[in-house]
A = this chain, B = another copy of it.
């Protein structure tokens, strides 16, 4: 991870403790058994989408690359592992020189996915790959959950700007990652300064109810705000009486008033009334921002209302009912011996209680119809059929330990918009349903 990678000018020497203890104890046992060097293929996939969802959104890939690059065991970390007696000395020595040297392929960030999609494929020795399980899953499960909610909201907003403002509803660093994932999923701006700092996402914000309450009157507060932030600012008009506040706002700022924000009440009704009042006062270009406990359904219900922008908090950072994905990181193939030329053998846990896996290193492609609309997610382990060769989804991300696929966040955002647009129309229906594409195993 880069020093600045947590949304702050911080120095993070390692991501190696974002790890479940069993990864280290497995390493120890495999080193001793002589199996640690067997070439192995791990894949990240999900057995299902969250109930009723039509598609998933891959997000966090860029953060995964940073995490892998900075996965090192420095003296502080090794000292902790030694003191706690978590692993033995030979294992500590092995960890001291750890650098991931394998290959990673995956769906590029912003791409959509379906049950069984091999979202990420990590290949190298068992030892070097097994250690990455937790940090990779933490990032992808969190960020993809947020991006999926964001994508539904941005589809519902149908082009109106969306402001991410959920920092206060989630862990302070999850908030930074959430703002990033929301941007990939189609959001426009964020209130979170750390996300602006780290990822360059445009930040917005003007005032809260506390600012009005601080002053002796709403008029004093509005005047103070306009004096300092200019007429183009957004005034919050629901601290006392909305109609009176709108009147006062236009009186003070004039028709150049940038926007008013409504944060409570029946937004549909209030937005109509406020729009009419603003127009009657001549403030025809003053915008209306609404921000009260919105989710994709509330956004859709305001499609016909005179609303110019939506601010979304809680429901965005909690994935709108699905705060995590169910991605897993599974060994799907490994060599029969430590010989680097030994062929790979597909492996899989026996099915029990629905936890099925399919062994073998996989490719994936999205088959499209004659109009270019996707019709199936095709996943296979053999050779890629010729007709799907140029529809393959996995791209090379890390080659021999070196990251080869860094990209600006806007690229992921644009990719997501394009990938969603290539899905059947029903993808963006908010109603519950099956995945919009079937997954076929070739």
Contacts and interface: CB of A to CB of B under 8 A. Distances in A.
Interface string A28-45: 111111010010101000
Given A134-B168, A168-B137, A213-B331, A32 B224 contact: yes
Contact of A9 (B13, B209, B216): B13
Interface in A222-246: 223-225, 227-229, 233, 238-242
Contact of A29 (B17, B77, B193, B211): B211
A227 B142 contact: no
Given A209-B349, A228-B29, A10 B7 contact: no
Contacts of A19: 192-194
A191 B215 CA distance: 50
A209 B331 contact: yes
A6 interface: yes
A167 B20 contact: yes
A80 to B, nearest CB: 5
B331 A324 contact: no
A98 interface: no
A207 interface: yes
A216 B96 CA distance: 28
A314 B318 contact: no
A193 B17 contact: yes
Interface stretch (A197-205, A370-378, A398-406, A412-420): A197-205
Interface string A160-175: 0000010111111111
A430 interface: no
A317 interface: yes
Given A17-B193, A32-B227, A138-B171, A350 B8 contact: no
A158 interface: no
A266 interface: yes
Interface residues of A, number: 116
Contacts of A240: 349-350
Given A80-B196, A165-B20, A228 B32 contact: yes
A217 to B, nearest CB: 12
A6 B9 contact: no
A301 interface: no
Contact of A40 (B192, B207, B214): B214
A196 B85 CA distance: 12
Interface of A: 6-15, 17-26, 28-33, 35, 38, 40, 42, 67, 74, 76-77, 80-81, 84, 86, 88, 126, 130, 133-135, 137-139, 141-143, 165, 167-175, 177, 191-194, 196-197, 203-211, 213-216, 220, 223-225, 227-229, 233, 238-242, 264-266, 292, 314, 317-318, 323-324, 326, 329-331, 334, 336, 347-350, 352-355
A130 B265 CA distance: 24
Contacts of A26: 206-208, 210-211
Given A33-B224, A206-B25, A331 B214 contact: yes
Contact of A174 (B10, B173, B292): B173
Nearest to A11: B11
A21 to B, nearest CB: 3
Contacts of A14: 8-9
A193 B25 CA distance: 12
A22 B266 CA distance: 24
Nearest to A10: B12
Contacts of A324: 169-170, 314, 317-318
Given A29-B207, A353-B292, A35 B214 contact: yes
Given A8-B13, A80-B193, 5 more contacts: A18-B167, A19-B193, A21-B193, A214-B331, A240-B350
Contacts of A192: 18-20, 134
B239 A9 contact: no
